[in-house]
Amino acid sequence: MVDGAPVKQVFHTQSLGVHIDKNLFWNMHIHEIAKKIASGIGGLKCVRQFVPTKTLHTIFNSLVQPHFNNCYVVWDNSGKTLATKLQKLQNRAARVLTFSSYDADADCLIRKLDWKKLEDQ
């Protein structure tokens, strides 16, 4: 009760773009962030042949990287499965930005791009 009114119990809510569930797990938030990241990477893949590499990196830094940066506190405290999911997205982004094949060694590409792996950020 707050000021005599009952407080409705919910299993999930969103506040300021952060998804919170009743157990304070970040699964839903990370899944939502992952969808946005995957969408941005897909867009990069579509336009990469039409724009200079520098522009492609600017687009990545504007549309995709902020999602990694803004949720690092969340995914750092998440389980290994969710952290792995986000790392795979960073690997995919590295392959797209370097025009590499899907099976190229992501660790080498991340070093080439002078990025840090998510677990090291």
**Mean per-residue pLDDT for 75-100?**
86
Higher-confidence residue of 16 and 41: namely 41
Q: Which tokens hold the place of 81?
A: 């499965």
Kindly report, residue by residue over 47-56, the tens digit of the pLDDT.
999 999 999 9
> What pLDDT is stored for residue 70 in this prediction?
73
Of the candidates 81, 75, 77, 111, which has an alpha carbon nearest to the alpha carbon of residue 94? 111
Q: How far is CA 67 from the centre of its chain?
A: 5
pLDDT tens-digit profile of 61-81?
999 999 888 766 665 566 778
Taking 3-state DSSP, the helix, strand and coil percentages for the chain, each rounded to the nearest 5, stand at 60, 10, 35
Residue type, 7: V
Round to the nearest angstrom and report the end-to-end CA distance of the chain. 42
> What is the pTM for the complete model shown?
0.80
Rounded to an integer, what distance in angstroms lies between the CA atom of residue 49 and that of residue 81?
33
Look at residue 71 in the predicted model and tell me its pLDDT. Answer: 62
Q: Which pLDDT belongs to residue 76?
A: 58
